[in-house]
Structure 1
Amino acid sequence: MALATGALLGTAVAPAQAYSPLPTHTINYRDTDNCPCSISDPFDGTYFEKDAGGYAAKVNLYYGGSYIAKVEFHPYAEKLWVYDTKNDGDGIYAEAWWFDGSGAYHSTGLVQPTGTSSVIDYKIVDLGIAEGTYVYIDVYDASRDSWLTTAEVIA
């Protein structure tokens, strides 16, 4: 049920404007066998809990020298976090997708934080998937037409 809720929430957002040119990005990975561990950023940082067999990722997005967004996958509890860290009318989408043990395809749909006047807006999606599942996190600028990167992780 968490997946269905996340998919519905992810597709119910208004389209964001696109950055032009596209944002730049970096990806940081952590083997969560070796956690707890953290990755700093200009806002609230990222903390990953120990999760045997898990592989976490943090995608950092930049535009014009500013830190504009981040997307995180936390293997412990299998959660996708999508942050908008700049109130500029633009936004970032993320979509997690995977195949279950029977080979069936699953996706969160496009996930985007709801824009507010807060410094940081974020949305958390509980994937509720099996340990050891390979998950792909696609990151887009405004639509699937503006793919930025894919992080490959393990739940």
Structure 2
Amino acid sequence: MEINFLALLLAALSTLVVGFIWYNPKVFGNIWMKESGTTMEKMEGTNMVAIFAMSILYAFFISFILQFLVIHQFGVFGTVEGNVSDPQYIEFMKAHGTAFRTFKHGALHGFMTGLFFALPIVGVGALYERRSWKYVLIAGGYWVVSCMIMGGIICAMQ
């Protein structure tokens, strides 16, 4: 199994596209700003290039681990400890090499990862930060949708 770095990069970049839409004032942007305590004055003067660069880096980290959750063949690869010459691995890959390598399947696993991993992380942090449920649903919802799209991209690009 080889890591598809192009797929991981595209998946990471997709989070910016989702964010531009999700946090647009006409979608959830105004509500998020109110619930997070952010104002336009606070946003001005920030280094947006650095923020976007770090956002892409963090999203790349997420996409890197997400590939192991959305591509089942990595599980088999791990089972044989990376030994691609293992007869069981060879037979499995002959029989099931690209099974479940679709956008739809990756999106399903990405959705589950977002819902059962990312959303709870946002939720726990929000509890201690005394954030509202609106904040949790907006910020967590962003990661559910982002993980879903990332998973689809990663799984479909072979």
* TM category, shorter: under 0.3
**TM, length-normalised to structure 2:** 0.21
**TM, length-normalised to structure 1:** 0.22
> Bigger relative contact order, structure 1 or 2, given CA contacts below 8 A and separation 6+?
2
Structure number with bigger Rg: 2
